[in-house]
Structure formats: structure tokens, C-alpha cells
Amino acid sequence: MGANKGVLRFASPNEQRTISREDLGFYHGVNIGAVYEFDGEFNVESPQSFFAPVQRCIEEHPFLAVVVADRHTNKAFYQHVPVINLEEHISVLEHAPAGDSGQWGLVEDVLRPNLDRPFSHTIPPWRVVVLPLPPTSQRSHLCFIAFSYSHTILDGPSGVAFHRTFLAATRSAARNPTPSPTPAIVEIAERALPPPFDTPQRLPISWSFLLGPLIGAFMPRFLANLLGLKPEASTVNQGTWTGTPAFFDHDTTRTRVALREIDAPLVGNALRASRAHGAKLTGTMHILMVRALSKAFADGDNRITNFASQTAINMRRAAGVAENEMGEFASGVYFPLPRVSAAVCEGPITEEEWAAARACTEAFADSASRLRDQPIGLLRYLPSIRKWMAAKVGQQRESSYEISNVGAFEDKGEAKGANILHMVFAQPGMVVGCPICINMVSTKGGSLLYTVTWPSGALGIRVDESVFIDAICNSLRADFERF
């Protein structure tokens, strides 16, 4: 369906960053999915079953009814779409057979193609992909629902908001069934978009915070580092592992993905141990990731002395924005962590490591609580965000890995008609960012699922990349079992 000619508003610098990144072909679909259990009357194999709850999501979240215009420029803007055909956005895959790969192997197969699948520019950039799963009883039906969307309109927690709204709408329909089915064609009244997050008024930048990147960008790297004036917000030095220099080949660059589950009892043990040491799970996960990378390079390059971590921060609370509001409300924290010895990796977390987990936790809490001097606010000083993004190809990557944790989904509603059993989060490999992304989500009191995503060829290692990532995942699992 075509968009009208009205401008809802122009993209902010961070929104422009995501738009330019996607238009250059570097990044496509964020995927937040959930395993749903529906009651026996819900037909999970019919797209029409999903029309009503998806329509409710569109009605509640204005960003689901927009397209991005002038995306190839530095002045992209959002346009309202007056009519949406749900058949263009919802697809149901063939019923998944029970096989050797198990439930998570089937889910991984759904994620893989949708991470790199481009969105149409003429309809809102999101899709709902449904995979019916083998039922566990005759009274209920299971399916995996992936909400796949463009980062040009929404951040990671927005995907969780979609499932909150979808679940509430499904339960409401179960309590109050309508006599006639929901039509595929939905007319949407024009609504104002929420104001952008990264404005000068919301994210003030001090001179001291600005001068480091500004002066450092015009100095040789060694001199900038010596003076503490870095041209990037990250903490990379000569001993930092960052994989290969950033590269992109439209025909061959693909996202690779591995999906793993940490059982609920192990998650509970890790949460208790983290709290006992003054840390939160994301901070602890950084320590486990550094241990995993240190082990993976145990017989490798001794020039690797440290890892530069990157963490996505949800800024909704600091910005005074509701948890369920969709949009772009993210910033980031960069934190250097030293490589650890093989002997340390084989034992329980040391006091030094717990101190690092606390320091990470404190840095994340500080970032999430203030609006001043956020790295994302520096984007407004770039003369051309598109040129800046394109120029990253061929350069050293800005960090070793990213951890993005969209939290624990808590079901506060009445369990009638539908339940969410598990959540899954995946994002494309970072073509011009870090070589490895760890994408985490869990359910309150349940298991934690994480994906590891990376661009093919980005790790710069001599062994098969899948073998390397398997070793990372096995190390993470082993450390969870130590708590």
C-alpha cells in the first residue's frame, strides 16, 4: 500500500544512523519472537487468526503505520500509511515436523533468513512470521511467532512491547469473541509520532565530552590515545581483539546465528550469585563472555590482551517514557575487560572478576539513569551520517562484542486464551560494528534464551566459525553450571 505525501517528522540523528545503515545494505531485520501456547479453539495455521491482535498492535503503536522516505539522503523522514493490508505482513509457515534438531533448531531456521531479508520501502517495515510447532497436548496449540522489524523505526525493547500488546489482544478476543472475522484491510487514522529521543534538549552534551572525539578525530591514533582523546566512544587499543576490519559484499555477506537455552534453575542460580556480589546478570554475562573468548584464543595470538565490550542501554526510564512505548530509546556503554588466563577460566569466578561484573553493572546503571553526555548524542555533530557510516568499511571494528539484553518478560495478565512460554531475540550481524553479538531475553522465573549472531567471515580466525562459536556457547553453559 502506498504512503501519503505528508511528513510526520524528520528522523533524528540516531534514527538517521539506522536508516543509512539499512539503506547501505549493512543491517536488516531485528527479530523478537515468542513461543505461544493457545487454547484449542485458536487456529495457528490460518493467517486470519492473527489479524485481530496484530491490528490492535497497529492501533496502539504509531510507528507500525509508517514508512521511511528519502532514506538515501541525510534528511530521511517518516510518512504515515493510511491503509495496511495485513496479508502483506503476516505469513504462516508449514507445520513444523518433530525432528532431530528439536524445537530450537526449528526456531533458528526461522530466524536465519529473516535477519538478512530486506523490507519493502512501500509498506511499513515489519512482518509477523508464524511457525506452528508440534503440540504438547490435545487441548492446546503451540507456535513460534517472530516479530521481524526494521531498526529504522524500532529498538530492541519495542519488540517485547509488540508481544505484550499482541498477548493482551489475544486474551481479550478469547474473553469477548466477535461474530465476524477481522478483515485484512485496515484503515489507519493519521497520528503524530512520539518526539525523537536524541535531541539536544533531551541529550545535552558537555564541552569536555565533545572535545575528546572532536580533537581526537584530527590527530594520529597513537597521539589521540596518549592524550586520552579518542575519535570513537569505544575503548579499543593495540591489544584489543576486534575480528577482521569491517567489510561488506552484497552478494556474500550473511548473518550467521546460533540459538542456545540456559535452563531456569541455572538462571536462578546465576541471578542469586550476581546479587550476592553486587552485580546484575548482564554484568556477570560480560565476565562469562570474556572467559569464553579467552579460552577460545588460549592457543592463539598472544598479542590479544583485552576485549572491548559494548552494551545496549534502554533509556526509557531516564527519558520518562513508558516501558511499552515503541520507538528508538537506546544508547550504549563501552567497557574494557582484560583477557584472563586459562587457569582462571577453568575455575569459579574470582573476586577480581566479580569486581569487574560490579563495575559493569554500575556503569550500565549510571548510563541508564542520566541523559547528559550519552555517546548517541554525539551523532548530531557529524556533517553526514551516511558518509560516516559508509566510511566504516575497511576500518577497525569499534569493539570486540556486544551484549544486548531486552530483559525478562513478565506476564502480569490473566492466563486465558494464550500464554507466552519462551522469548527469543536475534539481530543481524554487525557489518561495520562488533564481530559478535550476544542477544538475550528471558521469561520471569523461566529459562534464558540467547542468540549469537555475526557476519560471515568477520571473526578473522583460522578455524571454522561455527566451531569457534560452539566453543563460546559451551563455555558460557559450563560457567552457568558453576554457580
In tens, the pLDDT along 257-270 reads 999 999 999 999 99
Strands of 140-150's sheet, edge to edge?
90-92, 126-133, 140-150, 29-39, 418-426
User: Please, what is the end-to-end C-alpha distance for the chain in angstroms?
Assistant: 53
Q: Given this model, what pLDDT does residue 415 score?
A: 72
Q: Which grid cell is 170?
A: 489475544
How far apart, in whole angstroms, are the C-alpha atoms of residue 247 and residue 359? 33
pLDDT beyond 50 at 1: no
Q: Given this model, what pLDDT does residue 3 score?
A: 46
Average of per-residue pLDDT across 119-138 = 92
Measured CA to CA in angstroms, residue 19 lies from 70, 121, 176, 256 at distances of 10, 12, 40, 22
Which CATH homologous superfamily contains domain 235-403+430-480?
Nonribosomal peptide synthetase, condensation domain (3.30.559.30)
Q: Given this model, what pLDDT does residue 182 score?
A: 86
Share of residues in the chain with pLDDT > 70 (%) = 92
Average of per-residue pLDDT across 167-179 = 83
Please report which confidence band the pLDDT of residue 233 belongs to, taking 50, 70 and 90 as the band edges.
Answer: low
Residue 61 and residue 326 in contact, taking contact as beta carbons nearer than 8 Å: yes
- The boundaries of every CATH 3.30.559.10 domain in the chain are 7-187
Q: Given this model, what pLDDT does residue 174 score?
A: 78
Domain covering 7-187 in this structure, CATH number: 3.30.559.10
Sign of CA dihedral 378, 383, 387, 391: negative
In tens, the pLDDT along 286-345 reads 999 999 999 999 766 688 999 999 999 999 999 999 999 999 999 999 999 999 998 899
Residue 376 and residue 334 in contact, taking contact as beta carbons nearer than 8 Å: no
Q: Which of 100-109, 217-226, 466-475 is predicted most confidently?
A: 466-475
Please report which confidence band the pLDDT of residue 82 belongs to, taking 50, 70 and 90 as the band edges.
Answer: very high
How far apart, in whole angstroms, are the C-alpha atoms of residue 286 and residue 292? 10
- 3-state class (DSSP) for residue 258: strand
Average pLDDT in the chain: 92
211 burial (CB, 10 Å; 0-12 / 13-18 / 19+) is: exposed
194 burial (CB, 10 Å; 0-12 / 13-18 / 19+) is: middle
Q: Given this model, what pLDDT does residue 131 score?
A: 97
Residue 405 and residue 285 in contact, taking contact as beta carbons nearer than 8 Å: yes
DSSP state, 240? Answer: B
How far apart, in whole angstroms, are the C-alpha atoms of residue 380 and residue 200? 8
pLDDT beyond 90 at 173: no
The residue behind cell 584530527 is 218
The residue behind cell 586459562 is 342
The β-bridge partners of 256 are 454
Of 440, 473, 469, which Cα lies nearest the Cα of 454? 469
- The boundaries of every CATH 3.30.559.30 domain in the chain are 235-403+430-480
The residue behind cell 526509557 is 316
pLDDT beyond 90 at 226: no
DSSP state, 350? Answer: P
Using H for helix, E for strand and C for coil, what is the string for 177-211? CCCCCCCCEEECCCCCCCCCCCCCCCCCCCHHHHH
pTM of the model: 0.94
pLDDT beyond 80 at 39: yes
Q: Given this model, what pLDDT does residue 453 score?
A: 99
How far apart, in whole angstroms, are the C-alpha atoms of residue 120 and residue 88? 10
Contact residues for 17 (Cβ-Cβ < 8 A; gap 6+):
379, 385, 389
